[in-house]
Structure 1
Amino acid sequence: MTDQTAQEPTMEEILASIRRIISEDDAPAETAAAPVATPEPEVMPEPAAAESFAAEPEVSPALMDETPSVQEPVSSEEDVLELTDRYEAPASQSIGDLDVEEVSAEPFPDTFDAAPAASAPAYNPLVGESAAASAASAFAGLAASLRRPDAPDPLPSGPTLDELVRSLLRPMLKSWLDENLPAIVEAQVRKEVERIARNAG
């Protein structure tokens, strides 16, 4: 068992032999494309290893042609930018070279259209003018009747004509408002509601 293991070539010896065969086939092409590379030291196989390697199948030339070869990228001298060359930027146009007359701006309008003013909502009174005037006069009379009498003069004097009329009309006005004011307000409210209903329909 030990003799058989010693006669078999190692993996490094097999790889070195394949590398040597590939380098011998590609040697003419590499000498034309690149400088001659330093050949790697050949490992001489032992007699037992040589006999075992002879039994290995030979690599066909067609298989060798299919093996991709690494080619060095070819760079042209025109694409290479020398670091010593000075880069000159294109001359920019200054503001003084511009022609101001060529720049045409749209003129702004002198006047602006004013926004339409919001129309105030029309005021529709709840009661008519006559009813409002009557109620206003009645409230004015009531307020006047409830007003405190003026302070008496220091000198004794009799009542004036206005005071006599006011004292006579006050009970009469009070009784009239108590009897007629609720009916007047109710009638005016009903009339206004009916008018609004007719306009809506």
Structure 2
Amino acid sequence: MIKKNPELVLASSSRYRRELLERLGIPFTAEASDIDETSREGETPVEACQRLAVEKAKWVAAKHPGACVIGSDQVADLDGVRLGKPHTRERSIEQLLAMQGHTIVFSTALAVIAPDGTVREKLSQTRVKMRPLTRETIEAYVDREEPYDCAGSAKIEKLGIALMETVESDDPTSLIGLPLMALTTLLTQSGVTVLPGLKA
């Protein structure tokens, strides 16, 4: 007999993360956290990403005792500079102009809080080499995709793939916002059955 899974909560309002988690076929709810996502003084982009994933999960877990809660955060690192969500057309163009011809490291942090309160973490990284691009090309892409809610303004799952020369990653879903291979491991370790008999 398969053990019933604990309540599963995704600590995010991101539609991309919801769509990715739906691939695992496990019932879940989604609830955004209410935390300050500003980087701290002296904090690297990766450190900020890892801290925020945990803080998001803890904020939501406090409202759902006994649940398994997933927190995640992503940052784009351009030579040590954190690139967040652009939010506007102008900022998106500015980001992509700075990125063109460079290699960007996208770090996606996971934090899973088990029903007993144990926190498990994993960091997935993707290296993206951007093509040399003209402003005209960048503006055409931004106007078609409006990638204002994506760190670094490039959506690999859509037309953003055309902006990229190469992609190297430890998880094909990491760049979209939720590394499902790593998440499967953390969920299994936290008592959630993804597939019967699956070992972490």
TM range (shorter): under 0.3
Q: Hey, which of these two has a bigger chunk of strand by percent? A: 2
Higher Rg = 1
TM-score in terms of structure 1 length? 0.20
TM-score in terms of structure 2 length? 0.20
